[in-house]
Amino acid sequence: MIASEAIVKILEKEGITDAFGIPGAGINGLYKHLEKAPIKHYLMRHEEAAVHAADAYYRASGRLALAICTSGPGATNFVTGIYTAWIDSIPLIAVTGQANSALLGKGAFQCADIAEIVKPVAKRAWRITGASAIPSVFHEAFETARSGRPGPVLIDLPLDMQLAEINFSIDSYTPSTLAPPKPDKTLIAQAVKLLDEAKKPVIIMGGGVILAKAEKALIDFAEFMNIPVISTYMAKGGMPEDHPLYAGQMGIQTGAVSSGNDVFLASDLALGIGCRFTDRHTGAVAVYQGERKFIHIDIDRKEIGKIIKTELGIHADASEALTLLLEAAHAAGNKRTRPNPDVPFKYLRKKYQRQPNFSRKTLDPREVYELVNRAFNDDTIFTTGCGLTQIWSGQYQRINKPRKYLPSGGAGTLGFDIPAAIGASVATKKGKAVAIMGDFGFTFLVEELAVASRYELPVVVIIINNAYLSLIRQNQKYAYQYEYEVAMKENKGLIDYVKVSEGLGCTAQRVFSYEEGEKALARAAAATGTYVVEFIVDDATDCDMGNDIAHIRHFD
């Protein structure tokens, strides 16, 4: 069998039904057989976008997708997408074409050692140098991507490897299987004991809970133990915002306008599940650590104790751990009845809920998110990349279901938003996906609007146009007391994003008032095709944030 035919059959057997990519001379040997497969291929406009789409496809559905492209600059364009997926623990299969084996290391046309280039930002990478190894490498790649802390993997295929004859039968191929790490039951019992002994315990739901599809198990455990739940940014939507035990989001940026920081600061014990305790969440570690104790459950053993000193560390899959935690809690006694907090969480959450003022003549960018909350239902998927627009999104958007909020969390990748919305819409069978970004971020990978238009995807793009590199402006202003090369006044005049969008096959409009915005979003929510709404907002609105969770600076 031709190796490329074997690869396609393996992809099919491993459950790949959708691929995002761009063909080229270095990968056409594989594309020949992909054409005949029951795998839907989406032709992207930039290789980076193919990876972002495959990334968000998994975030939205929990299923793997394929990102595929040619050699040289095509392959190197994959790097940012792979890094974005890697730092957020998102599995995907990336396949790149390569020059013939005989040309490797000889400076051949479009020949770059992509397997070595991506190793620092991929879970693993292979270059195939012997065609007979292809089935075993692909099997290992799928297993590696899915197992433990998930992540992206890359396989680099020289053209002669794609065209080689190999001895292979798909009937003999067994798809990769998962064996999530199970927790030590003794440690689980200790965790329940520590929680019972604590006066003000809290549970921190991390993105790993979403990846493990363990949100319901966490809620069941929290309800039985009567412990408030705080979510990290990557877990946004994991618990309904009106749940009596939901204490809010926390963090120094996206969680700055939330009761989560207050509840956490009052705690004496924190149980972190599937979270990495990164700087955007903790801020100054000394303040975050405080005098409280920590229990940390994570699928990646290396994360435990890496940043936060833990009283008890448990290496385990979140779903496996929560199942045993609930069993241990039942074994240790009846449903817990702790004293009610001084301020019930629903009232504490309301304290931070922005009261919109739609009477202003100039649009306040923060008010736009309230219009968004009202325009779209809970089944809508949202994507966002970086900047103040992402931070405001994290602060003000209300998300009540898991896998409906898909941010570039650890990388903060400008350009992630639109291709991610495409991947999410494809994964959910043309579900509504909304990308929220700034005017500068819109110019990154904007060409992917043509993909959304071509495949008639119900993607909505919301541009918050303040004609600034707004996050950088705010950093320059308050950290360094200057402003330089961050204003882009032309984005509200010379540059016409409506025409750009229309030229890429979208319906688009620019709005200047809340009334116009409300109507535009209603049309976008009802649209079956791709729709762009540009909001012209105040130039220099500042965003609440701080250096530590106890000292958040709030702006009117």
**Using CA atoms, how far apart are residues 433 and 529, in angstroms rounded to an integer?**
11
Please tell me the predicted confidence (pLDDT) of residue 85.
98
Q: Residue 153 has what pLDDT? A: 98
Contact between residue 432 and residue 458 where contact means Cβ atoms under 8 Å apart: yes
- pLDDT reported for residue 368: 97
Does the pLDDT value for residue 342 go beyond 60? no
Write the pLDDT tens digit of every residue in 262-321: 999 999 999 999 999 999 999 999 999 999 999 999 999 999 999 999 999 999 999 999
pLDDT digits (tens, 9 = 90+) for 348-378: 878 888 888 888 889 999 999 999 999 999 9
Q: What is the mean pLDDT of residues 27-45?
A: 96
Please give the CATH number for the structural domain made up of 354-553.
3.40.50.970
Q: How far apart are CA 439 and CA 369, in angstroms?
A: 16
Region 472-501: mean pLDDT is: 97
Q: For residues 266 and 339, what is the distance between their CA atoms, to the nearest angstrom?
A: 14
Q: Using a pLDDT cut of 70, give the percent of the chain over it.
A: 99
Please tell me whether residue 205 adopts helix, strand or coil conformation. strand
343 has a pLDDT exceeding 70: no
Average pLDDT over the chain, rounded to whole? 96
- Measure Cα distances from 51 to 9, 48, 77 in Å: 21, 5, 9
Residue 3 to residue 37: CA distance in whole angstroms: 14
CATH 3.40.630.10 fits 185-348, yes or no: no
Only one residue has tokens 């096959």, namely 505
Is residue 474 predicted with pLDDT exceeding 90? yes
DSSP label of 444: S
| pLDDT on residue 335 | 81
| Per-residue model confidence (pLDDT) at position 43 | 98
> What element of type H or E holds 94?
strand 92-98
SS3 letters for 362-424?
CECHHHHHHHHHHHCCCCCEEEECCCHHHHHHHHHCCCCCCCCEEECCCCCCCCCHHHHHHHH
Q: Quote the tokens at residue 182.
A: 């199970």
Whether pTM > 0.75 for this model: the answer is yes
Q: Are 310 and 296 in contact (CB under 8 A)?
A: yes
Q: What is the CA radius of gyration of the chain?
A: 24
Identify the band that residue 178 occupies on the pLDDT scale cut at 50, 70 and 90.
Answer: confident
Amino acid 481 reads: Q
β-bridge mates for residue 23, sequence order: none
Whole-number Cα distances in Å, 341 to 8, 221, 291 = 57, 19, 20
Instruction: Please give the Cα distance from 313 to 296 (Å, whole number).
Output: 5
The residue type of 491 is: N
Side-chain half-sphere of 418: how many Cα atoms within 13 Å?
32
pLDDT score, position 120: 98
What's the average model confidence in pLDDT over 462-481? Answer: 97
- Same fold flag, 185-348 and 354-553: yes
CA-CA distance, 205 to 203, in Å (whole number)? 6
pLDDT for 415-437, tens place per residue?
A: 999 999 999 999 999 999 999 99
Q: What is the percent of the chain where pLDDT is above 90? A: 92
pLDDT confidence of residue 186: 98
Confidence of residue 36 (pLDDT cuts 50, 70, 90): confident
Name the architecture of domain 3-172. Answer: 3-Layer(aba) Sandwich (3.40)
pLDDT band (50, 70, 90) for residue 165:
very high
User: What residue ranges do the domains of the chain occupy?
Assistant: 3-172, 185-348, 354-553
pLDDT score of 352: 84
pLDDT at 339: 62
Q: Are 476 and 486 in contact (CB under 8 A)?
A: yes
Token pair, residue 287, equals: 């303040």
The pLDDT score that the predictor gives to residue 357 is 86
User: Regarding predicted confidence, which is higher, 350 or 153?
Assistant: 153
Instruction: For residue 150, give the nearest of 122, 114, 169 by alpha carbon.
Output: 122
